[in-house]
Chains A and B, each alone.
Chain A
Amino acid sequence: MSTAAGTDPGREALFRYVLRLGDTSLVLGQRLGELVGHSPALEEDLGLANLSLDLIGQARLLLSYAGEIEGQGRDEDELAFFRDAPAFLNLTLAEQPNGDFGRTIVRQFLLDAWQLEIFEGLLGSGDARLAGIAAKAIKETRYHFRFSSGWLVRLGDGTEESHRRVQDALHELWRFTTEFFAADDVDNELAAAGVAPDLSALQPRWLARVDEVLKEATLARPAPVAYQWHGKRGVHTEHLGHMLGEMQHLQRTYPGAQW
């Protein structure tokens, strides 16, 4: 592991780091895509679809880059459609099912706030490619956060039922946020190399951002959960496999199919 700032990270660590970012965007984008045609209102349907397309666009940039780092000739489609669940390195929260609209918003809000910190941190990355992707993604993410935090306030500070639903969702999903800032060897190596932001520095900023909105939404922040999920190491909840089954079905049945 490198310790001096500015040293080149290992190719394997960079590959895994970029996959984590790309897979988180891809899986969350796919989840939102499931809602197309099912949202409570036409206007929200388009809003969520826009978010989904932004995220899938980020995934394309990141997975393409990951494929180049790996150097085995895998492109974005190969990585998206021909890996099994244990090879996906997305954050566990991203793969959680949509549930009701409130739950979708809570999941989105927590991940939007996380992406804001990560992409802001990557703007100054020593890896020019990652810095460029972050510069594009941060604009999209700022809107996503505005969208999800706006809805969280409306629902949390809305009716008795909407408050109860988002508070329940927050309790259920909060446990997956422990993983956001739990740095492992990959994170540490890239932070030391000046490629990735230091996760421990991001956590208080993320929490402050989240707390500010929760307060306005009259929602209580759940207590921290010690148990940690490990989606970013490829250990997933059962939901990811089902989601991938649907997402990958066409390419696996007709490899290379295009339209």
Chain B
Amino acid sequence: MSNDWPLYEVFIRSRAGLEHKHVGSLHAADAAMAVEHARDVYTRRQEGVSIWVVRSSDIVASDPADADALFEPARDKVYRHPTFYSIPDEVKNL
């Protein structure tokens, strides 16, 4: 039965103020059912306060074959990390 149902990706917000995080996927007949399934499958142990679902087929992903072109050029540019600045003592909470 679930083989006939499209796949949905599930995102859960664990606490107010935090972002939604991808937790897994499930099958459902439509988006409303996907939310209910996500509630039953992924929030049984108080994992969340909010649920997003999205059709897996609606997600546009980068191609792993493009990984070199996309991500390799950043590897030797360590100066993009803000670790070269010295933080003045007066600045708190950074």
Q: Which residues of A contact B (CB under 8 A)?
A: 40-43, 46-47, 50, 143, 146-147, 150, 154
Contact = CB atoms under 8 A, between A and B. Distances in A.
B27 A46 contact: no
Contacts of B27: 41-43
B29 to A, nearest CB: 7
Contact of B36 (A41, A42, A47): A47
B32 A46 contact: no
Q: How large is the interface on B (under 10, 10 to 19, 20 to 34, 35 or more residues)?
A: 10 to 19
A41 B7 CA distance: 13
Contact of B40 (A47, A150, A154): A47
Majority secondary structure, A binding face = helix
Interface of B: 1-2, 5, 26-29, 32-33, 36-37, 39-41, 44
A43 B32 contact: no
A50 B1 contact: no
B36 A50 contact: no
Given A47-B37, A154-B33, 16 more contacts: A40-B2, A41-B5, A41-B27, A42-B41, A43-B28, A43-B37, A43-B40, A46-B37, A46-B41, A47-B36, A47-B40, A50-B40, A146-B36, A147-B36, A150-B36, A154-B29
- Nearest 10 CB-CB pairings of A with B: A41-B2, A43-B37, A47-B40, A40-B1, A46-B40, A41-B1, A46-B41, A50-B40, A43-B26, A43-B41
A150 B32 CA distance: 10
28 contacts: A40-B1, A40-B2, A41-B1, A41-B5, A41-B27, A42-B26, A42-B27, A42-B41, A43-B2, A43-B26, A43-B37, A43-B40, A46-B37, A46-B40, A46-B41, A46-B44, A47-B36, A47-B37, A47-B40, A50-B40, A50-B44, A143-B39, A146-B36, A147-B36, A150-B33, A150-B36, A154-B29, A154-B33
B30 to A, nearest CB: 9
A46 B44 CA distance: 9
A146 B33 CA distance: 11
A42 B32 contact: no
B50 to A, nearest CB: 16
B12 to A, nearest CB: 15
In this complex, which of B1, B26, B40 has the most chain A Cβ atoms within 10 angstroms of its Cβ? B40
A43 B28 CA distance: 8
A78 B29 CA distance: 43
